[in-house]
Structure 1
């Protein structure tokens, strides 16, 4: 007996009225990922651009600060008569105070009643310019500010964080005590090896080739240590 023929359902699988929902969802996720990656790239570019602007701004600030200090140096330069100028020196200075330490260069012109000191960092950029004249002291920083005080020690401690004994140092760098009480120890050749005055201890570590002037000094004060290496005398 012949069996009735059965029709097979050959219709394609039913689709959503809006098309293949699964594929559409996949495309949506892909497009969303592309938009997310594009947004991340844009954010990264914005961050890099912002950093570049900051670097250019910082570099410009350094240039302007250096230019200002150079101009300030020219304006504040003392023109001492030859009979007023007692010495000029140039060298390096290293400072330790508290947990801080720094080093740089120093140039100093000393007259009978006036002083001019320029302190720069190891790259030669200005840190401070100190001028003593007319019974007071002025300190100019690279940002253009001028600070004043009756004496250099109080002024440098307030602005720079450490004391620079400018008045006493004018005698100490020439291996002699300043006015007032002091204690001195001398070496076998009669030169001062150690000096104590005004709360400072000054040690003479090296002398120039003819032994007439010190070339390396160490100055100590409670919480402060200064080292001075003199490379040139005039």
Structure 2
């Protein structure tokens, strides 16, 4: 009887490891809208001060040039919601306070003390429009790019030329480091 139970458990485990084939990815430059679920780690180091660290979860929907970000602590409790449009950005904190600004990055800086590249991030996440300071991997995908004072490093889960990154590390002059571990992508051409 023990052997039968062990064999059943082994077959269930192996079956759970098998996954359905992934749908073909659209070409990277054809993706306009996306949603993602990620974990993040942020480290800010200011001259002469001890580094400050924060981490948690990020849900992001980018649609028609607008963004909706939900930032939560590691346990999933919402810390802030950010909505950006070309005209106005809005941030609501967990205590219900709302701030607005026509400049998304200025709004983030007002709240966090750091100017984070929220406007450039969708293109960076997708690896679109690589500039002259972009290094490509053997599959033609960005592996490192330098833009607007930031260095962005990409890690992919597979070798498909249109694969989206599984991990990103953004670094600005050693002062700010943002690591993203993307757990789920939903893309819409």
Task: Judge same fold: TM > 0.5, yes or no.
Answer: yes
1:189 matched to 2:139:
yes
- Contact 1:177/1:195 (8 A) holds in 2: no
Counterpart selection for 2:156 from 207, 223, 226: 207
**What residue is the counterpart of 2:93 in the other structure?**
141
Please provide the CA RMSD for this pair.
Answer: 2.0
For residue 171 of structure 1, give the secondary structure of its aligned residue in structure 2. Answer: helix
CA deviations over 1:155-214 (Å, ceiling 9, x no partner): 112202333312111011111237xx652111222211111111111111x213353110
Gaps of 5+ in 1: 1-84
Structure with greater proportional strand content = 2
CA contact (8 A) 1:153 1:165 kept: yes
Indicate the structure whose relative CO is greater, using CA pairs within 8 Å and at least 6 residues apart: 2
Q: Is the 8 A contact 2:38 2:183 kept in 1?
A: yes
Q: Max radius of gyration: which structure?
A: 1
Aligned residues: 148
| Maintained 8 Å contact 2:139/2:159 | no
TM-score, normalised to structure 1, is 0.59
How far off its partner does 1:134 sit?
Answer: 5.0
Q: Which residue of 2 aligns with 1:93?
A: 40
Point out where structure 2 has 5 or more consecutive residues left out of the alignment: 1-31, 46-50
CA distance in 2, matches of 1:135, 1:230: 28
Using the size of structure 2 for normalisation, the TM-score is: 0.72
The equivalences for 1:34-53 within 5 A come to none
Equivalent in 146, 158, 161 of residue 110 of structure 2: 158
CA distance in 1, matches of 2:78, 2:115: 18
Match of 1:217 among 142, 164, 168: 168
CA contact (8 A) 2:62 2:122 kept: yes
Shift of 1:109: 0.4
Bigger fraction of residues in helix: 1
Distance 1:160 1:128 in 2: 11
